[in-house]
Amino acid sequence: MSFNNTSDWLDYDKNHLWHPYTSMTDPLPSYPVESAQGVRIKLTDGRELIDGMSSWWAAIHGYNHPVLNAAVKQQLQSMSHVMFGGLTHLPAVTLAKKLIDLTAEPLQHVFLADSGSVAVEVAIKMTIQYWYAQGKKDKQKLLTVRGGYHGDTLGGMSVCDPVNGMHTLFQGVLPKHFFAPQPECNENGSTNIESLEKQLQSHQSEIAAVIIEPIVQGAGGMRIYCPQYLQQLRLICDKYEVLLILDEIATGFARTGSLFAYEQADIVPDILCVGKALTGGYMTLAATMTTAKVVQGISADGAGILMHGPTFMANPLACQVANASIDLLLASSWKRIIKEIEAQLDNELSTCQEYPVVKEVRVKGAIGVVELHESVDMKRMQADFVEQGVWIRPFNKLVYIMPPYIINKSDLSQLTSSIHHVLKRLTLNAN
């Protein structure tokens, strides 16, 4: 079957294809893409949109990058995929070494997963198996903070915010875990971590691990908090002998200004999840990294078999493009680039605070967030942004951008100017 024109396949899409977080009976509009190059997404009608989302934070080098294209083409000539059960290959081993070399020294073991959500699932399984192998079979719960987001699979959903998250209708079937208040930090460095510690103290015999997004809480609310909270959290986890999982799927690979956000707190997790930008947005791939302590703990019962094994685990194409993406990032002046993006975002978005519809403006690294008092009309606001020649996808009460690192100052200014334009229109309509 073929389609005669764009209108035909758009109609088929509307009637048959389910898009993320949309209804089939009342779908949000989907804009048809013809191609993408650099920081621009070209629609089939010829319009070009400056990408402010890095395709959900993954395409840090932009689109159609010659280095990443070459990595995929080269790998295709040898093999696109082989099963990882009983076989191995150089792209996977090379990627594991790169990740181990880039992260804190204790993180010496790598599980290559399909996606960020699966990386979190694997991390949760690791913690439960760790305690099970040591005879502590009651330690099957997790402790986390409100406002978090850890994926759309059942395990990941279970540690997302239970009230304001996207998965409230599944509460009856999800595992029940423990939740502490969102991290809060005062100017003097004091935090509200006492509430979390009380939960841990009360339920130590049940809790296998604490899971948290370091420095920036992503899709759960785009909240930013101080490194001191993480420092205190690491000490508390050690005190009560529970594992610490850091979910860096959104923050990893320089997004917050350091290569990994946990570096800003000078701590080391027991388990680290990375994804999204790992392949530069080319293919789905993630990794769950852990320490010798966890590996040996899982093996304490003499078995040590981690109960997970995806069909496309360590896909060679994905591994090879991830290797190229990491090399490309490290060869760039990424520290300077992120600082410059942060300074421009801070300068150009700070005045959004003057609009009555705006509650707060937040900037961290290459992340700019404008939080509104009320939830946005996503359909209308999305159309407004497209009208301005940019691709910015708001959600709930948030208008935010996480642009590709290769963006120039002029294009970044067009993104921030479009936010001002849309907020002005929203303010006028509110009056």
Burial of 178 (0-12, 13-18, 19+ CB in 10 A): middle
Task: Tell whether 128 and 269 lie within a shared domain.
Answer: yes
The 10s digit of each residue's pLDDT in 389-406 is: 999 999 999 999 999 999
Residue 196 included in any domain? yes
Residue 15 included in any domain? no
Task: Tell whether 179 and 302 lie within a shared domain.
Answer: yes
Q: CB under 8 Å to 172, separation ≥6 — which residues?
A: none
Task: Tell whether 283 and 386 lie within a shared domain.
Answer: no
The 10s digit of each residue's pLDDT in 3-58 is: 999 999 999 999 999 999 899 999 889 999 999 999 999 999 999 999 999 999 99
Task: Tell whether 296 and 355 lie within a shared domain.
Answer: no
112, pLDDT greater than 90: yes
Burial code (b: 16+ CB inside 10 Å, e: under 16) for 324-339 equals bbbebbeebebeebbe
Provide the pairing of β-strand 367-372 with 398-401.
antiparallel
Task: Tell whether 113 and 38 lie within a shared domain.
Answer: no
Residue 320 included in any domain? yes
Query: What is the pLDDT, as a whole number, of residue 48?
Result: 98
| Structure confidence at residue 230 as a pLDDT band (50, 70, 90) | very high
CATH of the domain at 78: 3.40.640.10
Q: How many CA atoms, within 13 angstroms, populate the side-chain half-sphere of residue 13?
A: 17
371, pLDDT greater than 90: yes
Q: What is the pTM of this model?
A: 0.97
The 10s digit of each residue's pLDDT in 219-229 is: 999 999 999 99
Average pLDDT estimate for 265-285? 98
CATH of the domain at 346: 3.90.1150.10
Q: CB under 8 Å to 412, separation ≥6 — which residues?
A: 341, 344, 345, 348, 403
Task: Tell whether 354 and 381 lie within a shared domain.
Answer: yes
Residue 21 included in any domain? no
| Structure confidence at residue 299 as a pLDDT band (50, 70, 90) | very high
The total number of structural domains in the chain stands at 2
Burial of 101 (0-12, 13-18, 19+ CB in 10 A): exposed
CA distance 24 to 30: 12
How far apart, in Å, are the Cα atoms of 360 and each of 1, 176, 189, 370, 372? 50, 32, 21, 6, 7
Catalytic sites, residue numbers: 21, 149, 247, 276
Q: Which of 300, 331, 362 is the last residue of a domain?
A: 331
SS3 361: strand
Q: Which of 293, 311, 331 is the last residue of a domain?
A: 331
Report the residue count for the chain: 431
Q: What is the extent of the structural domain holding 280?
A: 69-331
164, pLDDT greater than 80: no
Are 396 and 220 contacting, i.e. CB atoms less than 8 angstroms apart?
no
Query: What is the pLDDT, as a whole number, of residue 149?
Result: 95
Which has the minimum average pLDDT: 359-363, 377-381, 405-409, 410-414?
377-381
Task: Tell whether 245 and 383 lie within a shared domain.
Answer: no
Q: CB under 8 Å to 181, separation ≥6 — which residues?
A: 145, 146, 192, 195, 196
One-letter amino acid for residue 416 of the chain: T
CA distance 195 to 198: 5
Task: Tell whether 37 and 140 lie within a shared domain.
Answer: no
Q: What integer best gives the mean pLDDT of the chain?
A: 96
| Structure confidence at residue 321 as a pLDDT band (50, 70, 90) | very high
Average pLDDT estimate for 101-112? 98
Task: Tell whether 94 and 53 lie within a shared domain.
Answer: no
Residue 3 included in any domain? no
Query: What is the pLDDT, as a whole number, of residue 168?
Result: 78
Task: Tell whether 73 and 188 lie within a shared domain.
Answer: yes
Query: What is the pLDDT, as a whole number, of residue 430?
Result: 78
| Structure confidence at residue 375 as a pLDDT band (50, 70, 90) | very high
| Structure confidence at residue 178 as a pLDDT band (50, 70, 90) | very high
Task: Tell whether 106 and 164 lie within a shared domain.
Answer: yes
Residue 50 included in any domain? yes
Average pLDDT estimate for 411-429? 96
| Structure confidence at residue 302 as a pLDDT band (50, 70, 90) | confident
Sign of CA dihedral 362, 367, 368, 369: negative
How far apart, in Å, are the Cα atoms of 323 and each of 89, 93, 95, 280? 13, 10, 6, 10
Task: Tell whether 245 and 342 lie within a shared domain.
Answer: no
Query: What is the pLDDT, as a whole number, of residue 405?
Result: 98
**Angle, to 10 degrees, between the axis of helix 316-331 and the axis of helix 66-76?**
150
Query: What is the pLDDT, as a whole number, of residue 409?
Result: 98
- pLDDT above 90 coverage of the chain, percent: 93
Residue 2 included in any domain? no
CA distance 17 to 39: 26
Q: Which of 297, 331, 365 is the last residue of a domain?
A: 331
* Closest residue by Cα to residue 273 from 56, 55, 113: 113
